Amino acid sequence: MKLLLDEHLSPEIARQLRERGHDVVAVGERTDLRGRPDRVHFASLADEQRAIVTRDLGDFRPLLDEALRRGSSTYGLVCVPARFPLNRDGIGRLVAALDALLQAHPKVDAAISLGGEIWLQDPTGS
């Protein structure tokens, strides 16, 4: 599975995941996406075969629903629960959780390929 980290997630998370062998990029690393509307981020996902990792479900769920109604290709959402802090201290937990997810789902599975959501689990149990 390939991921795009939404703009509110640190590019450091993507960097650490790439060091672990995963195909992950962050909006903050991409000049073509940085500062652009969520609709632009979402539109880039199908061509790159990426799921978006986000906490911004209020914006991305309607985009996902719209794509599914049109029959467009989508690789779904990886939802980050509020219990994951988005500050510097939370980066390690997010990296561990995303690493576990990517190891469990190296390829896009049925839930994602059908446009579903996966909720990120905290492997530390916190």
Domains (ranges, CATH) in the chain? 2-119 (3.40.50)
Q: What is the model's pTM?
A: 0.88
Residue 13 DSSP SS3: helix
Q: What's the confidence (pLDDT) of residue 23?
A: 95
- pLDDT at res. 90: 83
Q: How high is the mean pLDDT in each 10-residue block of the chain (126 residues)?
A: 92 97 94 86 83 91 88 85 84 93 74 67 70
Give pLDDT, residue 110. 46
Number of H helices, E strands in the chain: 5, 5
Reduced to 3 states (helix: H, G, I; strand: E, B; else coil), residue 59 is helix
pLDDT at 112: 56
Q: How far is CA 3 from the centre of its chain?
A: 5
Question: What are 73's two structure tokens?
Answer: 């290709």
Cα Rg, the chain, nearest whole Å: 13
Tell me what pLDDT residue 125 has. 64
